[in-house]
Each structure stands twice: as structure tokens, then as C-alpha cells.
């Protein structure tokens, strides 16, 4: 398809990575997230799945898309658009030979098997680079490929627990709590995509590929950001603070007359604007609130004073007043409300693909969350709905036979 309009949303054309082919041996979340980013950017991603069930996430529902035996989980759909699928049984020597041809014909090979699995099938970089030194391989692991963690399976929940993420999440007087979505897997996938792109750029200069690896645990620790730095630099082991920030105030949700509003007055200028907008200029000279350090010490008192003012009107009114004053502020939305809000803000958060080559299991147009990446010359596109298992098996076999 060339320059074809999709539901009035976007024009298709070659993406920034349309020159790359990716052999994707990964499944579940972190690996497929990385390859979907590359696919959205234009890469031709061939998803290698086991026969039958395929990627485990195909069965992780509800919610479902479709009906009956053809229904597919929305979990799988979230991570596999713009890919082609071929089913190969790596326990079968003939299928391993096909997988090897796909890998050798690719620019990038991605996997998230247990450490050593790709080597056992002759699909690791050391085995493949003998014939194709330009090949880039990327492994997503749970806890690295060396040391005691190499044999451990990694899942988002497990790593949220082990990395300290849960220890700093949730009410201050409550239990450790996981983040509501698989943020560790997501972050790991993004790091992996970045690493692959860096390796592609390096290959352009050197002519030689390399192996890159990202572990869930390392990504989670890096994702702690200021919290991790606080431990490494200042030997602080923080606990949960609920919705408060350990270093900034006011920077939390506050109750209004009919709901809650998140306010992020994270600088002296914004603090002054907030005081004026709430008609409490006296806070500017109040010793309890005179600077950020004082406000952190007196967070309880600050919260009580702000909420006393906000109780005088509704969330909608305060949202308008504070935004006009230039203060970062927003409602606490449900997921449904978040998409409505994003649409109202002009972000166009949903992409719709009317695929004329519809197949069994497809009901109507395919809807997907739009990538946050915007590129002026090579815009990201949704060219394919997530594939059925082995949907492109014959097509891929013909290609590698040429």
C-alpha cells in the first residue's frame, strides 16, 4: 500500500526503518514491545511463534476481540501490530532450519528465551555471525545472562517486587503495591529498542553487528530514577509516601468540593502563581511554606491549607482557574476518561486500521493506541493489524526460498 489513507487518520509511506528486517523470537511483553516500536517505525518484523497457541498472550483475557474460537486477547493486540507471523516448532530440525534462514536474512534478531536457549538451536549471535557478521542480536533477560540470575525466569510482577518498585508504591501506611500496568516490561522493551537502534547506527560505520542485552531487573533499577540515585548517592532507603513526592511540595492530588485535583507546583515561580491563584499570598511569607524545603517538612499543614481553599469550589472550576494561571494541574481520570481527555487535547490517541484484507477472527476495523512518537518526514504508521498465528507462514517461506 502506498500513500493510502487509513480511516482519515494518516498516510502510509516508507517508515524511517523500512530498510530493516527483524526476526522476532520473543513473546509476552518486553520483547514484543521492542519489536513493535521497530515495526511502527517501518521495520519488517517477522514474528516466529510456536504452532498452536503461539504467543502466550493470545490467551491472556479478558478483554477479547472477536468471538468464539477466533477471539484474541486485547493484551496480545497491544503489542503485535505491524508484524507478520510464522509458526515454527524449534523442536523440529526442519523448522529450526527455516528459523535459521529467517535469522540470517534479517538485520536484527530479538529473543527473550531463557539464557542459552537460542544457542541450543544455533540461533545466537556467535552461531549466526559466522555466516552473517553484520547481524545484530538482542536478548531480553530477566536478571542478566551471567551470574546466579541467569537461570531465573523474569516476569513484570516479580521484578517490580524485587527491584524496590513495589516498596515505594502505595499508601504510606499500606502494603507494597505493584504499578497498575506492566511498566517494567514496557521500560525494558523501550531500552531494548534504543539499544538495537544504536547497534544499527554503529554497524553503519563499522560494517559489523553486535549483541545487545537488556534485563528486566536492570531496567527496573534504572527506572527508579531519582529514588535509585537517592540510595546510591545518599544511602537512603525510602518507603512509600502514597501520592506525595519525597522532594517536591506541593506535588500531589488535593481534594476539592466534589473530587480530586493533581497539582504540580514544582518551582518557586509556580508556587508563587499558585498562592496568587488561590488568593493566599500570605503563604509566600509563611515560615512553614517559604521555600520547598520548608514545605516538605510541613507537608501535612500545607495539604490541609490547600484543601481548605479548594473545598470552596468544584474540580472543574479549579481546573479552569489554575490552568488560566499557568499552573500544571489535571483531573484524576479513569482510563476511559484519559482517552477522552487526550482526544479533547488534540493528541489523537487512537489509530484505526480498516484492513481490506480481513481474515477470520477480525470484527470491523482494528483500533490501537497510537504511538507517542511523532516524526515529520517519516511518520509512524499502523500498516497491519496484529497477525493470526502463522498467518504469513507460506509468504515468509516463499521469501526465504528465493
**How far apart are the C-alpha atoms of 226 and 237, rounded to whole Å?**
12
CB neighbour class for 255 (10 Å; exposed up to 12, middle 13-18, buried from 19):
middle
Assign 212 to helix, strand or coil. strand
Q: What angle do CA 349, 264, 171 make, to 5 degrees?
A: 90
Assign 350 to helix, strand or coil. strand
Q: Which residue has the cell 515561580?
A: 269
| Residue pair 354/374 in contact by the 8 Å Cβ criterion | no
By annotation, the residues acting in catalysis are 185
| Residue pair 79/29 in contact by the 8 Å Cβ criterion | yes
Checking DSSP bridges between strand 136-141 and strand 108-111, what pairing results, if any? Answer: parallel
| Residue pair 317/258 in contact by the 8 Å Cβ criterion | no
User: Is the previous residue joined to 214 through a cis bond, with omega within 30 degrees of 0?
Assistant: no
DSSP code, position 21:
E
**How far apart are the C-alpha atoms of 317 and 280, rounded to whole Å?**
17
**Long-range contacts formed by 302-308: CB under 8 A, 24+ apart:** 302/249, 302/250, 303/250, 303/252, 303/254, 305/280, 306/250, 306/254, 306/263, 306/278, 307/254, 307/255
Beta bridge partner(s), residue 129: none
Q: How many CA atoms lie within 13 A of 62 on its CB side?
A: 4
Amino acid at each position: 500500500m502506498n500513500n493510502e489513507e487509513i480511516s482519515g487518520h494518516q498516510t502510509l509511506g516508507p517508515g524511517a526503518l523500512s530498510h530493516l528486517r527483524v526476526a522476532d523470537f520473543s513473546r509476552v511483553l518486553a520483547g514484543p514491545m521492542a519489536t513493535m516500536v521497530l515495526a511502527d517505525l517501518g521495520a519488517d518484523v517477522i514474528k516466529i511463534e510456536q504452532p498452536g497457541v503461539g504467543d502466550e498472550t493470545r490467551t491472556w483475557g479478558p478483554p477479547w476481540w472477536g468471538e468464539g474460537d477466533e477471539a484474541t486477547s486485547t493484551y496480545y493486540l497491544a503489542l503485535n501490530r505491524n508484524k507478520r507471523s510464522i509458526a515454527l516448532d524449534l523442536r523440529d530440525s526442519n523448522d529450526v532450519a527455516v528459523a535459521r534462514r529467517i535469522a540470517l536474512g534479517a538485520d536484527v534478531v530479538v529473543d527473550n528465551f531463557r539464557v542459552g536457549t537460542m544457542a541450543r538451536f544455533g540461533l545466537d549471535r556467535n552461531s549466526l555471525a559466522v555466516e552473517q557478521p553484520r547481524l545484530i542480536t538482542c536478548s531480553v533477560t530477566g536478571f542478566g545472562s551471567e551470574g546466579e540470575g541467569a537461570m531465573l525466569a523474569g516476569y513484570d510482577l516479580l521484578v517490580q517486587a524485587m527491584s524496590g518498585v513495589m516498596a515505594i508504591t502505595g499508601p504510606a501506611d499500606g502494603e507494597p503495591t505493584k504499578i497498575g500496568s506492566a511498566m517494567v516490561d514496557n521500560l525494558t522493551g523501550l531500552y531494548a529498542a534504543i539499544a538495537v537502534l544504536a547497534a544499527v547506527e554503529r554497524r553503519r560505520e563499522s560494517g559489523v553487528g553486535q549483541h545487545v542485552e537488556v534485563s528486566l531487573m536492570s531496567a527496573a533499577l534504572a527506572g527508579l530514577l531519582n529514588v535509585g540515585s537517592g540510595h546510591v548517592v545518599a544511602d537512603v532507603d525510602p518507603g512509600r509516601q502514597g501520592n506525595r513526592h519525597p522532594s517536591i511540595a506541593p506535588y500531589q492530588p488535593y481534594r476539592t468540593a466534589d473530587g480530586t485535583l493533581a497539582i504540580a507546583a514544582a518551582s518557586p515561580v509556580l508556587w508563587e502563581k499558585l498562592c496568587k491563584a488561590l488568593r493566599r499570598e500570605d503563604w509566600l511569607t509563611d515560615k512553614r511554606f517559604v521555600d520547598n524545603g520548608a514545605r516538605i517538612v510541613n507537608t501535612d499543614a500545607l495539604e490541609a491549607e490547600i484543601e481548605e481553599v479548594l473545598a470552596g469550589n468544584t474540580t472543574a472550576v479549579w481546573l479552569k482557574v489554575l490552568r488560566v494561571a499557568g499552573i500544571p494541574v489535571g483531573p484524576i481520570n479513569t482510563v476511559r476518561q484519559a482517552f477522552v481527555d487526550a482526544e479533547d487535547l488534540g493528541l489523537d490517541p487512537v489509530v484505526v486500521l480498516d484492513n481490506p484484507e480481513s481474515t477470520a477472527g477480525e470484527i470491523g476495523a482494528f483500533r490501537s493506541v497510537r504511538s507517542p512518537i511523532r516524526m515529520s518526514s517519516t511518520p509512524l504508521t499502523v500498516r497491519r493489524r496484529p497477525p493470526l498465528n502463522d498467518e504469513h507462514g507460506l509468504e515468509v517461506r516463499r521469501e526465504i526460498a528465493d
